[in-house]
Structure 1
Amino acid sequence: MDTSRRIFLQSMAGLAVMSGVSAIIVQPAIAESAGPDPVHFTEDTLAQAQRAVAEITPGSKSPNGWSINTAANSGGSVWTRPVPGTAFGVDVALADAEVILIHVIRRFHYEIDTLRPGEVIGFKNPDTVKGYELNHASGTAIDIRPDQYPPGVHGGFYQHELAVVRDILAECKDIVKWGGDFTVPDEAHFEIAVPPTDSRLREFADQVRGWNSTPGVGAGVIQVV
């Protein structure tokens, strides 16, 4: 755990609050090391991948309304995508879901604790999951440190960490749901909460894309007023 960076961010935030002044702490921009080499998608190959989903799992939908895949990186809609600023990628649905889920991961990475390879799980084989976890099979859910935040256990986050989680959810405007709010909590779990036809999905994904291309905004920027 990168304790020095975490302590620095927390102490700077605390000083800003106590002094009553605004502070902005900027982490490296999205152009920094993006981890594993990404698969390059043109508009044509993206469209082909989206059409291929029907051939992989005809008619099968996850609980949130997305097409289920049987495997990642196999011609469907779920591929390993890099998480900028980290040394790893995650298996998620291409396009808007990818943009939003990676935004959640990056905020956790910068504002709660440094994430390392193997600590974020995306796609899961549909034969191994059921219930809300089937959203993993469509590439529209992630688990962040599932070993540290196991299902059924409540209170895994410190108050300042929980505040960041709540801020992420508020920023995502009900497009992302957190497992910590489930009747049986699963605090590692984050999922897209709307179907692909929901117009809010594209609107928020485009907003995140704008942040990613603008220095000083988006994931990695902590603002305390």
Structure 2
Amino acid sequence: MTPTRRSVLLSVGAVGAATALGGVLTGPAAAADGTWDSPRSANGWAMDPDAVGSFRVEGSPATVRLHRAAAPVLLHVARRWHYEVIPLRGSRHVLGHRTDRAVGAAYESNYLSGSAIALLGAGDGLWPHQEAVVRDILADCGGVVRWGTDLSPADACHFQIDVGPDAKALRRLTEIFHARSVRHDGPRPGAVEDPATPERRAGARRLAKAQARN
């Protein structure tokens, strides 16, 4: 996973939610040897193998293991990444739940609970128009998801649920994405709002600043 240039392009519609949600939930630090020894990941999610399932990323040949409560949102991120940023050629390009507790940064513990996903293929970084799409995806998620580019150390492939498992914002977003899938009107090729419109760019800047403060 490689870091990429930071961007302030994010879309409208999620700014109020992001401000209300606040930042990522803090968890205990890893042990001195880099082993995560807490029963919860840094974002407050319990590590429960029974809560993890395997899911296909729509439109791609990739499957990924995620916490069932986190899956609707993280799969939305993965689907838009596949369609609009970099195609996911197979399961090797998507990483989700893992059991190895060795972490290089606290946020990597979120993979242990299945509440984070890594979307590979960014190489040496993203082009500006790709970064703009990613910011638009974050805005689509109403501040519930944080991008690894905004964490330290930066990781352009990393996306994590940025609220606890019982957060109302997570439940609302899950309901919205479920309704979209039933109506078949979610973001698809040719059916996505232009992230470069002035309204969405203005929302992008506000949400990026809100998340940067936390």
TM-score normalised by length of structure 1:
0.64
- For residues 3-152 of structure 1, what are the structure 2 equivalents within 5 Å? 60-69=39-48, 76-95=50-69, 97-117=70-90, 118-129=92-103, 131-145=106-120, 148=123
Q: Which residue in the other structure is 2:179 paired with?
A: 210
CA contact (8 A) 1:126 1:134 kept: no
What letter corresponds to residue 51 of structure 2 in structure 1? Answer: S
In the TM superposition, residue 171 of structure 1 has moved relative to its aligned partner by: 1.3
What letter corresponds to residue 98 of structure 1 in structure 2? Answer: A
Work out the CA distance in 1 between the residues paired with 2:172 and 2:121. 30
SS in 1 for 2:72: helix
CA contact (8 A) 1:79 1:94 kept: yes
Work out the CA distance in 2 between the residues paired with 1:67 and 1:61. 4
In the TM superposition, residue 189 of structure 1 has moved relative to its aligned partner by: 0.3
Q: Which moved more, 1:97-106 or 1:76-85?
A: 76-85
**Cα distance 1:146–1:127, how it changes in 2: closer, same or farther (>3 A)?**
farther
Residue among 190, 201, 206 paired with 2:170: 201
Note the alpha carbon deviations across 1:153-202, whole angstroms, 9 max, x for none: xxx11011000000011111110000001132111100000001110001
CA contact (8 A) 2:144 2:169 kept: yes
Bigger Rg, which one: 1
SS in 2 for 1:87: coil
Note the alpha carbon deviations across 1:39-58, whole angstroms, 9 max, x for none: xxxxxxxxxxxxxxxxxxxx
What letter corresponds to residue 64 of structure 1 in structure 2? Answer: N
Aligned length: 155
Note the alpha carbon deviations across 1:12-53, whole angstroms, 9 max, x for none: xxxxxxxxxxxxxxxxxxxxxxxxxxxxxxxxxxxxxxxxxx
Cα RMSD, aligned residues only: 1.9
CA contact (8 A) 1:142 1:189 kept: yes
Work out the CA distance in 2 between the residues paired with 1:111 and 1:147. 13
- For residues 152-191 of structure 1, what are the structure 2 equivalents within 5 Å? 156-191=125-160
Gaps of 5+ in 2: 1-37, 198-214
In the TM superposition, residue 126 of structure 1 has moved relative to its aligned partner by: 4.0
Note the alpha carbon deviations across 1:128-172, whole angstroms, 9 max, x for none: 3351100000000011117736xxxxxx11011000000011111
Gaps of 5+ in 1: 1-58, 150-155
Q: Which residue in the other structure is 1:24 paired with?
A: none
Q: Which has the higher contact order (CA 8 A, sep 6+)?
A: 2
What letter corresponds to residue 44 of structure 2 in structure 1? Answer: G
**Cα distance 1:186–1:146, how it changes in 2: closer, same or farther (>3 A)?**
farther
In the TM superposition, residue 123 of structure 1 has moved relative to its aligned partner by: 1.0
Work out the CA distance in 2 between the residues paired with 1:217 and 1:127. 35
Work out the CA distance in 1 between the residues paired with 2:188 and 2:116. 19
TM-score normalised by length of structure 2:
0.67
